[in-house]
Structure formats: structure tokens, C-alpha cells
Structure 1
């Protein structure tokens, strides 16, 4: 009984650390998107700092979870949580990388280019970024609270981000055809938008692992 109590405390700590990773990743992504639409390099710096913090937490948690599997012989339900947590931690780490990549585009590419093409799509990019960031925040919340219903809502919102991604691609393509001088800026903005779309994809993946951890079913099997 004492051993089980200690194990439960350890698993609660795992959930808290991965939740902290997720919350830092949300800040990294949202700061990077704000830097993109506003051209504010300080926000890009903030994004990159949080990405570094997520990396440190990920390395610690990855090693700890693998050690737990090897030494604790967890029960089936515990193993489902541990495996899901490993996958979720990896997804969160990749999301933070996307925030860092967007921030680097702002700092190292767009800073020396004409900002007008960015201004033309800024409002739509902001909307898409807000949707993706909210999906990520809710996916992390679903993990923290083991909430399969909230995870399902996250999954269902991915199509909204995809629709905006397609709309932005059309706008950027039309702008590139009309203004050859804007093509380099548009290329960089398009790359950043692809990272935002991937944030939504990874958030969906997180939500699917939360659903599995909470219910024992794969999302596609249950629906």
C-alpha cells in the first residue's frame, strides 16, 4: 500500500511536469505568432526562451518515464497513462520547436524584408494562430484533468484551422503573382503559417492520446 501511494505521487508529478511543459509551449507558440503579425522581436525572444525551458523538461521527463516502465512493472491502466504521457511530451516538445521556428523567421528573415505582405494577412494569421493556440491550451488542459470530452472538442476544431490555412495560401499565392518583389516575404510567411497548421495537428495528436489514456479506446475506434 505504501509502495502504491509513492507510485501514485510519482505519476501525479509526471502529469504536473508535462502540464507545465504544455503551458510553456502555449506561451512559446502564442508569443511567436504575436511576433509574426506585429514584427515585435521581443516577443520572438520570449518564444525562444520558453522553447529552451520545454526542451529541458522534456529530456528529464522522457528519461524518467522510460525508467519507470523498466523498473516499476506498471499495471495495464498505469502503462496506458505512461505511454500516453511519453507520446504527449514528445508532441509538446515538437510544438515548442514550431514556436521557436516561427520566432527565428521573424528575427532572421522577415526583419530585413518588406513588411507590407505580412500586414495584408496579419488579421487572418492572427485568427488562425489564436485557434491553434487555443487547441493546444485545451489539449494540455484535457491532459491535466484527464478529460476525454474536452479532448474530443479539440480534435473536432482542427478543421477550422485547416480551412484558414487554405484561405491564406490562396491570398499569398495571389499576392505573389501580383507583386514579384513581395515573393521572398510571402515565402517566409507561408513557412510560418505551415508551422501554425502543424501546431494544430500536434494538438490534435495530444488530444487523441488523452482520449486513449482516459477511455482505453483509440479515438477513431470509438467514433
Structure 2
């Protein structure tokens, strides 16, 4: 994160650097948590699932610590312009990261179910969708580290493709339940897993919007597709 200039106060720079470092630490932990959770979908590794669930406390602790540090720097330094946008973006991104950690924990519930051989195709679809979102999360965290708006725009558009995968999965699950009502308990667990993965995709899109906000100085939440289309045109990314 070298996109901010130096300040008169060296301690101010040190405080910002510490917060940025903690955000990267939290991001790295959440990325691993989510990746490990997806690994449990096909390989029912109970120990790994329990590790993800236990480590969620560390994610929560980091959110609280970073939030407190941001509040202190606002009260002490009264940041303005890009400094204030950075702090506000960090407060919001750590909230998104904490919720991604919650989704990772929810996905790990899948290890409690014994899926039949016929249902393995469903698990493979979940694994494929999950790994796509793992890449999405990694890329959006890299983009946030550099405040790379061009990468953020690509990630923002990726959420639509993930949504299409999710809809295909839902249809696949409905077919399983109609053909074999005995599969319903397993399918409901798989459905919760799919929803958790989809939520992570949406949170990656939210983090993209925070990058737009920092770089452009404009709130891009809840805007219409035409506004995003205009931003794509500005960046030369519209196909």
C-alpha cells in the first residue's frame, strides 16, 4: 500500500502503516480460512474443518483490534480526503472479511454429512464453484492492497458468472431431491454450503466497491448497472 503520501507526523505514518499491515494479516488469514473450508467439500477432513472453526475466533479478534485502531486514528488525527476514505474503507472491508470468516465456518458443516456416491457430482460442482470464489477473494484482496481499480472492476463483473453457477447448482439440487426424497437432509446441507459460497462472492464484489470509493471518491454501493458501465468505459474495460 504505497498510494498515500507522507505526512508531517512520523507517528501518523506509523499508525497508518500498522493498520494497513493488520488488514493484510486479517485478509491472509481469512483467505486461508475460506480456502481450507472449500477443501473440506470433497475431502471430508474433520480435523481441517475443526481448525477453520477454531481459527474464526482469531478473525473476530483482528476485526475488533483493527476497528479500535481506526477509531483512535480518527479521534486523534481527524483525517481528511484520501486518508479518511482509506480509514472508512478499512473499517468496512474488515467487516466484510469477518463475515467471509463466518461463511467459511458454515461451509465446514458439510463434513458432518455422509454423501452417497451418486451425490459426488454435486460436491464436485460445489468444489468447482468454491475454488472460483477462492481465486476471486485472493484477487480482490490483492486489488485492495494496491487499490487497483482496474482489477477491482474485473472482479466486480466476475460475481455475475458465480451467480450463474449458483443457479445451476440449485437446479441440480432440486433434481436430486425430487428423484430421491431420502437425499433431502444432505442436499439441504449442500444448499447452505452453496449459499455461503455465493455470499463470499457478493462480499468480494462489496470490497471491489470500496476500492472504487477510495480511488474515485464516490460511493458505488447500490448504484445501477449503467453507473458501473460508465466506470467500465472510463477504464477501457467495456467489451
TM-score using structure 2 length: 0.85
Where does 1:123-134 land on structure 2 (aligned, <5 Å)? 123-134=124-135
Secondary structure of the 1:157 match is helix
Deviation at 1:134, TM superposition (A): 1.1
Residue 96, structure 1, aligned to residue 97, structure 2: no
For residues 36 and 159 of structure 2, what CA distance do their matches in structure 1 show?
21
Aligned partner of residue 74 in structure 1, secondary structure: coil
CA distance in 2, matches of 1:32, 1:19: 20
* Whole-angstrom CA distance in 2 between matches of 1:191 and 1:15: 33
Give me the whole-angstrom Cα distance separating, in 2, the residues matched to 1:66 and 1:117.
52
Aligned pairs (5 A) from 1:173-184: 173-184=174-185
Q: Give the aligned partner of residue 208 of structure 2.
A: 207
- Structure 2 residue 154 is matched with structure 1 residue 149: no
The residue that corresponds to 2:13 in the other structure is: 8
**Structure 1's 125 and 114: CA in aligned 2 closer, same or farther, altered over 3 A?**
closer
With over 3 angstroms needed to count, the CA separation of the structure-2 counterparts of 1:77 and 1:2, relative to structure 1, is closer
Q: CA deviation at 1:2?
A: 7.3
What are structure 1's unaligned runs of at least 5 residues?
none
CA distance in 2, matches of 1:35, 1:118: 15
Gaps of 5+ in 2: 1-5, 232-239
Evaluate the alpha carbon distance shift between residue 114 and residue 83 of structure 1 in structure 2; reply closer, same or farther with a 3 A threshold. same
Q: Which residue of 2 aligns with 1:120?
A: 121
Residue of structure 2 in register with 1:59 after alignment: 64
Q: Is the 8 A contact 2:7 2:13 kept in 1?
A: no
Q: Structure 1 or 2: larger helix share?
A: 1
Aligned to 2:234: none
Distance in 1 between residues matched to 2:52 and 2:215, nearest whole Å = 31
Paired residues for 1:36-75 under 5 Å: 36-75=41-80
Task: Provide the alpha-carbon RMSD of the alignment.
Answer: 1.8
- The alpha-carbon deviation at position 117 of structure 1 amounts to 5.5
- The aligned counterpart of 1:171 is 172
Q: What is the match of residue 35 of structure 2? A: 30
Separation in 2 of the partners of 1:78 and 1:12? 12
Shift of 1:49: 3.5
Instruction: Say which of 66, 79, 84 aligns to 2:84.
Output: 79
SS of 2:9's equivalent in the other structure is: helix
